[in-house]
Structure 1
């Protein structure tokens, strides 16, 4: 399970950082919102300058982190501006899956101003307020499909969240605990820049420790009391790439479930298991994250071959 904090909102003329739960404006990837129907929306994004989100040397073969963060920012935007969820409520990520259109991304890159067509369904309401929501999302640029995604999250009022989380709900306390522990080294030879490596090696080639850098500009743009979901998605992607080295490829599709929070005060183990290729001939891996013997996260990753040259 992963959660996104909320700091009540009307439909915005523009997307402010608060509406996407960011503390710094250069982290905002969305620029506009239009309601097409009761539960349908058109969200405008802006990828003309993404240096605040992805590293300058961002690999051309992997755009999943940018697309996923763009999609993730639609959750709080629609919760507040689409469904009048007050700031302070918590958005808890339950499941997420995506599929990339790699030929379109390789040809056009990840610049420009894409649009996200969002259809919301399976809306659950309690006491007149939305408490659960599924989203089907298509990412288009100039009419060409770049990616599709599905996700579901549910929403908790702050009093319920604090009661359930107890002392773990104190973000500043949890960050202090995390920063009192030495940050483990990254996997040797990883293609990510040092700041973006989220795995640390162990004695086993298919097992790592989750490397949680609480100073990372995207994952911890604002104080959080646990490892954010997008960091776990990145860990699954990096695990898939690392275990297949040197036959590295692109995480073209992923199906994930967030079972419980990954806390900041104890180690989290990440394991990868090779599976038979899928029906499209892509390599498949099952990546899991465990903490204190509890399953926290699972990801089924489909890896396409990297382009030659």
Structure 2
């Protein structure tokens, strides 16, 4: 959960490129990252957004920079990690909830659905970081009183001036009091983490296009299409800060790895849609299962990946993966 104290943000009245946010802070023309509190991150190194400005009515342009190397979302086969796209969307949605819609920093932002469709060539790495723009339009804004309760955002995403992806994100906002009612005793961070399970063994990293066990989200079972979710709360990226449940980005990573483990060679998830049904707790195993639903002559696959806990659905992902030489 984000701190209630804002990091001071650079102001440059001579180059103002946007209005003030709900806290009276203007985006800066200088190149920097947005305050980490605005994207619910602890490590500044995990903040990918650099600026924001208002476009037309109900629309925004958020800038991001993707590094040439990253400890977790690093390039593979000369391509930027497509999950950088989802992480940038996650950060942009949280940022705009605060700076555009006045959601307090201590209000949790909860996903219902995220999807993207991307053009693989636009992920090619170069000798410079990737400059990314997320053109965002707000839809279906629901308020309770004066507070934003839920929203859907549509994204057009451009990388170095070239079309990269279209995407969408549905989320809800909850006050701390409502969140405590939703989570019950699990809202207690110390209690939730005291009950966490030991981290099970990893599948071979090469099976899921990873280099190290620590970055593997799947643990083997007696079935080749079913795995236990590895929940390693010491991971510095997936668990950037203490949480009371399994993060959505970990489950998306597990879905991506399950799709990779289901196909020979390196594959790229060019389209993904994830729906979130409930929280996955830290005190019980979660199970990941992949099923190929269609194959094409060019080697592309349609897959359904599910995450369940206590035999109840947590996440359902529809993935289109294509082989990359």
Q: 1:176 to 1:38 in 2, by over 3 A?
A: farther
* Distance 1:110-1:67 versus aligned 2 partners, 3 A rule: farther
Q: Aligned match of 1:184 in 178, 192, 200?
A: 200
Cα distance in 2 between the residues matched to 1:60 and 1:306 = 10
Counterpart check, 1:7 vs 2:21? no
- 1:171 deviates by 2.0
**What is the TM-score when the length of structure 1 is the normalising length?**
0.90
Give the match for residue 139 of structure 2.
121
State the shift of 1:277 in Å.
3.2
- Residue 109 of structure 1: CA displacement? 8.4
Q: In structure 2, what is the equivalent of residue 283 of structure 1?
A: 301
Shift of 1:279: 11
Q: Which residue of 2 aligns with 1:297?
A: 315
Other-structure match for 1:20? 39
> What is aligned with 1:306?
324
How many Å apart are 1:65 and its aligned residue? 1.7
1:96 counterpart residue number: 114
The 1:48–1:64 alpha-carbon spacing in structure 2 relative to 1, beyond 3 Å, is closer
> How does 1:244-255 map onto structure 2 within 5 Å?
244=263, 246-255=264-273
Contact 1:118 1:136 in 2 (8 A): yes
2:50 maps to 31
SS of 1:182's partner is coil
TM-score by length of 2: 0.86
Q: CA deviation at 1:93?
A: 0.2
Measure how far apart 1:217 and its partner are. 1.4
The answer to whether structure 1 residue 259 and structure 2 residue 277 are counterparts is yes
Question: Quick one: structure 1 residues 20 and 203, their matched pair in 2 at CA, closer, same or farther if it must change by over 3 Å?
Answer: same
C-alpha separation in 2, matches of 1:267 and 1:12 = 44
Query: How many residues in Structure 1 have an aligned counterpart in Structure 2?
Result: 299
What is the aligned partner in structure 2 of residue 202 from structure 1? 221
Shift of 1:280: 8.6
Deviations 1:98-154 (A, max 9, x none): 112101213658822211111111111110221111111122123201222111001
Distance 1:67 1:305 in 2: 19
Q: Distance between the aligned counterparts of 1:106 and 1:49, measured in 2?
A: 11
Aligned to 1:226: 245
SS of residue in 1 equivalent to 2:223 = coil
Structure 1 CA distance for aligned equivalents of residues 128 and 313 of structure 2: 34
Matched-pair contact (CA < 8 Å) for 1:53–1:66: no
Alpha carbon RMSD of aligned pairs, Å? 2.1
The answer (yes or no) to whether the contact 1:61–1:250 under 8 Å persists in 2 is: no
**Counterparts in 2 of 1:186 and 1:136: CA distance versus 1, 3 Å:** same
**Secondary structure at 2:129's aligned position in 1?**
coil
Aligned equivalents of 2:288, 2:67: Cα separation in 1: 34
Residues 199, 25 of structure 1: alpha-carbon distance in 2 compared, 3 angstrom cutoff: same
The SS at the match of 1:121 is: strand
Greater relative contact order (CA < 8 Å, ≥ 6 in sequence): 1
- Whether 1:51 and 2:70 are equivalent positions in the alignment is yes
CA distance in 1, matches of 2:254, 2:120: 20
For structure 2, the residue ranges without an aligned partner over 5 or more in a row are: 5-21, 29-33
CA distance in 2, matches of 1:90, 1:107: 34
1:70-89 equivalences in 2 (<5 Å): 70-89=88-107
More deviation in 182-191 or 113-122?
A: 182-191
